[in-house]
Structure 1
Amino acid sequence: MHAAQSIVAPAFFALTLVVAGRPVQRRLVRLGMHRMLAALLVLLALYLVLAVLAFALGWSIAQLSTTLPQYGPEFEGLYQTVADWLTSLGVQVADIDQLLGVVDFNSILGVVRRAASGLSAVGAQVALLVVVMFFLALDSTDTTSRRALLARARPGLSAALSGFFVAVGRYWIVATVFGLIVAAVDVVALYVIGVPLAVTWGVLAFVTNYIPNIGFVLGLVPPALVALLDGGVSSMLWVVAVYSVINFTIQSIIQPKITGDVVGLSPTVTFFSLVFWALVVGPLGALLAVPLTLFFKAVLVDAHPDARWVDAFLVTAAAAEKPGVAEPVAAAEPTVVTDDGGAASAEPGPESFPDRQEG
């Protein structure tokens, strides 16, 4: 997976997005819309959401590239003040003047410029994401027979994957709703404090909300630094205080509680998932940490009754108390969900297993 991360990450991301849109697609089919038309409408809606997000990110990076150079003198003055303070405390800072010549504001601007140029580098992954979503949407118009086959051959895996599809769809919905709430509140608060680029920091807060555990910190540091350069220490402290009260309360207390109820993963597992999947599939793994963990939990744990004991180390206490977590999956008469939202029996017949046919 690490060697093929440029393929695995966008392809899995596409799968989770299409899965998240499946409930809407089935609802449209039940209302009488043709399956193909319903799939295309949901696909276009997903494309629109991705396009708006990409435009917002590109606009934010452009704003940073044009605005941050204005704070070059303030940054160098701040660096000199810190260096003088360290010297007064007896800390040996060798060749401070030389350091000032190396560590300047342009080094920070270089990060922003590299991020802007990196947008073109991920163009291939974006194209792969768009194409895979299209083919998955086409396949989603007729899945009844494939689900029935899987339910006949591997009922436990079929039930586990059905649970994964439901959980990952709810996860994206919860993360998006809370991200919008956090971004809106942050923009209003930053406007009141007088921090420049308030909308840009709102977009950053929305995106980092998808990153478990450390998203709050990643969204706090840039606006706090700009507030320090623009308004001084008091402005920075106000930003830190507002973010700590609003973002920490929403992102680190309320959202994990609801997310935990939806996906059932403990906070510790969520954090290690972030570290692990970012290492395996790259930066996109930080956004896909929870969905990837849910997928492999479904395939390796939930699908096998003998492996259900592993859930004791993965799920929250509330999830562990739910019925069926540590119970074997019944293999008799599995049921699958049809493409129109109804149920169909997938009871295996003799033709399903030729090697078991009676003589």
Structure 2
Amino acid sequence: MGSLEFYDRKLRLIMMLAMMVVILAGIKAAADIVVPFLLAVFLAIVLNPLVVLMERCRVPRGLSVMLLVITVVVLLIMFIGMLGSSLNEFARSLPQYRGLMLQKISELQDYAHRFNIDITFSSDALVKLVDPSATMNFVTRLLGQLSGAMTSIFLLLMTVVFMLFEVKVLPFKLRQALNNPSEGMAAIRLALRGVTHYLVIKTAISLATGLIVWGFLTWVGVRFAFIWGMMAFMFNYVPNIGSAIAAIPPLIQALLFNGFADAMVVAGGYILINLIIGNILEPRIMGRGLGLSTLVVFLSLIFWGWLMGPVGMLLSVPLTIIARITLETMEGGHKLAVILGDGKPANGSTPE
């Protein structure tokens, strides 16, 4: 009897792993559909608290949703106009980088020779290293995609609108659809509470980070400060390494165009901004941990990025939170949820 139960558990585990592989393969194959849908879901999660706030001010839900969407559209048009203008200016100035990089590398070689350090580059390798044509082609493609993205953005916003209208009746539908409504709704509320808390706070902090970086680089005199501020906003969603990656392009640009002193000011400014916001302000505003270990957060960045590309990297933390909460409610999934967790007991005591 015991052996039958053992084989039954093994069979269920194998079946669960096989189903997981099939689901992940399906998600990767249908990424073109899944990614916009996920973006719409998480955008609706971020905007729904604002709709609820407007409802509390006696504004009808339909009018609240429409006012919010109109505001988002106006902001998007302004943002795309500013970004397109900045990218055009960036593309026109790219040829200047070649001469400046060659000059800086030559200065570095001369400086290294004083200390008997030989730094040599073959001419072909150096041309490939500093040739801006690849970057210009990338910027040109990006501008073309940006101008052609309005249809996709319109469809995305329409999906968000219908999702926001559906929020009112969604709990009733879920109660009717779930086999165990009480436990299922409790798990869904827990997941939504955690993801909403994370996304709303993270969006506000990322927006503040982008605005501060934009203002700081403008004050220092670094060109294309709007692009680097936008990059800081986007990469702040990427855990652990996002802020460091966002600091590299403006630091290189400041070194080339502004000089070593301004580059050090830029580096110090980025370190100070990320230290205050990322290590002091964000943990206090979040109020509680994500319930995920640091290693799991980093591995989830790699995993979701492989599965769904850049959008998966941006949404890696909320997706992993949902996966952990889902595993906690599944039979046999509790142990996997513990592995994904931060190792802190639920009662708050320290583990032995």
The counterpart of 2:176, out of the listed 123, 144, 149, is 149
Q: Which residue of 1 aligns with 2:117?
A: 89
TM-score of the two chains, using structure 1 as the length reference = 0.76
- Give the 3-state SS of the residue equivalent to 1:89 in structure 2: coil
- Give the 3-state SS of the residue equivalent to 2:223 in structure 1: coil
Separation of aligned partners in 1, 2:102 and 2:119: 20
1:11 aligns with 2:37: yes
Q: Which residue of 2 aligns with 1:109?
A: 136
Matches within 5 A, 1:1-359: 1-82=27-108, 89-90=117-118, 93=121, 96-107=122-133, 108-120=135-147, 125-150=152-177, 153-252=180-279, 254-255=281-282, 258-259=285-286, 261=288, 263-299=290-326, 301-304=327-330, 306-316=332-342, 320-321=346-347
Cα distance change on mapping 1:47 and 1:155 into 2, 3 Å: farther
Structure 1: runs of 5 or more not aligned: 324-359
Cα distance change on mapping 1:315 and 1:59 into 2, 3 Å: farther
Q: Bigger shift: 287-296 or 189-198? A: 189-198
User: Alpha-carbon deviation of 1:69?
Assistant: 3.5
Query: After superposition, what is the alpha-carbon deviation per residue over 1:14-62, rounded to whole angstroms, capped at 9, x for unaligned?
Result: 1111122223333444554444333333444444455455445434323
Q: Contact 1:179–1:206 at 8 Å: present in 2 too? A: yes
Query: After superposition, what is the alpha-carbon deviation per residue over 1:134-182, rounded to whole angstroms, capped at 9, x for unaligned?
Result: 3323322433421432466343232122122222222222122222332
Q: Contact 1:156–1:304 at 8 Å: present in 2 too? A: no
Separation of aligned partners in 1, 2:232 and 2:265: 17
Q: Contact 1:5–1:281 at 8 Å: present in 2 too? A: yes
Separation of aligned partners in 1, 2:58 and 2:342: 40
Cα distance change on mapping 1:60 and 1:251 into 2, 3 Å: farther
Structure 2 letter corresponding to 1:219: A
Q: Contact 1:157–1:302 at 8 Å: present in 2 too? A: no
Cα distance change on mapping 1:253 and 1:32 into 2, 3 Å: closer
Cα distance change on mapping 1:40 and 1:181 into 2, 3 Å: closer
Q: Bigger shift: 278-287 or 231-240? A: 231-240
Q: Contact 2:174–2:181 at 8 Å: present in 1 too? A: no
Q: Bigger shift: 202-211 or 309-318? A: 309-318
Same amino acid, percent of matched pairs: 27
User: Alpha-carbon deviation of 1:270?
Assistant: 1.8
Q: Contact 2:236–2:243 at 8 Å: present in 1 too? A: yes
Separation of aligned partners in 2, 1:60 and 1:158: 47
- Give the 3-state SS of the residue equivalent to 2:132 in structure 1: helix
Structure 2: runs of 5 or more not aligned: 1-26
Q: Contact 1:21–1:169 at 8 Å: present in 2 too? A: no
Structure 1 letter corresponding to 2:229: G
TM-score of the two chains, using structure 2 as the length reference = 0.77
- Give the 3-state SS of the residue equivalent to 1:316 in structure 2: coil
- Give the 3-state SS of the residue equivalent to 1:103 in structure 2: helix
Query: After superposition, what is the alpha-carbon deviation per residue over 1:259-301, rounded to whole angstroms, capped at 9, x for unaligned?
Result: 48264333322221211111101111121112222222233x1
Query: After superposition, what is the alpha-carbon deviation per residue over 1:170-196, rounded to whole angstroms, capped at 9, x for unaligned?
Result: 222212222233233323432443322
Structure 2 letter corresponding to 1:291: P
Cα distance change on mapping 1:173 and 1:115 into 2, 3 Å: same
The aligned length equals 320
Q: Which residue of 2 aligns with 1:328?
A: none
Q: Which has the higher relative contact order, 1 or 2, with Cα contacts under 8 A spaced 6 or more apart?
A: 1
Separation of aligned partners in 1, 2:338 and 2:67: 41
